[in-house]
Amino acid sequence: MAERGFFITLEGGEGCGKTTQVPVVAEFFRKRGFEVVCTREPGGTKLAEQIRAVLLTKDPDEDLCDKSELLLMYAARAQLVETLIKPHLAQGKVVISDRFDLSTIAYQGAGRGIPLAEIAALRQVAIGDFAPDLTLLFDVPVATGMARMRARGHADRIEQAGPEFFARIYHGFMDYAQSHPEQVAIIDATGDIAQVSALVEQTLTQRLKL
């Protein structure tokens, strides 16, 4: 077993299909003999899931302000990293997370307009230099993703924002990916589910040399 396992994150805008591909990533590693733990953000532990409920449920009486949203994302992330991700990695397991820190850069940074330097300062407090070994960024045009989410039928508090918000998020993801090509692999997620799965397996094989 490896001394430290791999930490893999899946990222992208609304309806990009990343959650659908989590089992494909898990199976890739299991076939190669790894134990796999799947989690998600915000959430993934009992307490972090409670924070998720505050973040994603719209309160009819009180809006969650942008700074509170950001702080709660990092509270949930600190809890997840310390109590779940790091201990499993230390046992040589692979941890796969449906969203992680790149979502904060895209949603709270590009989307809400919070300066990236402020986000970086909070990240340092919450998780220090801890980062994924590889991030798969699922790339679909905003309109395609939103049509998939409409077809699915329900929207949480953050998903209720308008198309300009999601356009800013899209550019936030892509700008980061283009400036961090070693960390982030962009997956063309416009094909059908089987086509995207094939690209996921191809990318993992090329990037991780397993």
Contact region for ligand Z5A (CB under 6 A) — 11-19, 23-31, 58-66, 124-132? 11-19
Closest to ligand Z5A by CB, 23 or 92: 23
Q: Does 19 bind ligand Z5A (CB under 6 A)?
A: yes
Task: State how far the Cα of 176 lies from the Cα of 188, in Å rounded to an integer.
Answer: 16
| Residue 91 and residue 173 in contact, taking contact as beta carbons nearer than 8 Å | no
Contact region for ligand Z5A (CB under 6 A) — 10-18, 84-92, 121-129, 176-184? 10-18
Q: Give the torsion sign (CA, 25, 26, 30, 36).
A: positive
Q: Alpha helix (H) ranges present in the chain?
A: 18-31, 46-56, 66-80, 86-90, 101-104, 116-127, 142-152, 163-179, 193-208
Closest to ligand Z5A by CB, 92 or 191: 191
Interaction with ligand Z5A in 150-209: which residues (CB under 6 A)?
152, 156, 158-159, 189, 192-193, 196
Closest to ligand Z5A by CB, 33 or 151: 151
User: Can you tell me whether residue 89 is helix, strand or coil?
Assistant: helix
Among 104, 139, 142, 199, binds ligand Z5A (CB under 6 A): 104
| Residue 12 and residue 190 in contact, taking contact as beta carbons nearer than 8 Å | no
Closest to ligand Z5A by CB, 35 or 144: 144
| Residue 122 and residue 104 in contact, taking contact as beta carbons nearer than 8 Å | no
Torsion of CA 150, 138, 6, 70, to 10 degrees: -60
The two tokens of residue 172 are: 């936030």
Binding mask 29-68 for ligand Z5A (x = CB under 6 A): -----------xxx--------------------------
The two tokens of residue 79 are: 């809890």
Among 39, 45, 79, 103, binds ligand Z5A (CB under 6 A): 103
Q: Does 93 bind ligand Z5A (CB under 6 A)?
A: no
Residues contributing to the site for ligand Z5A (CB under 6 A): 14-20, 40-42, 73, 99, 103-104, 107-108, 148, 152, 156, 158-159, 189, 192-193, 196
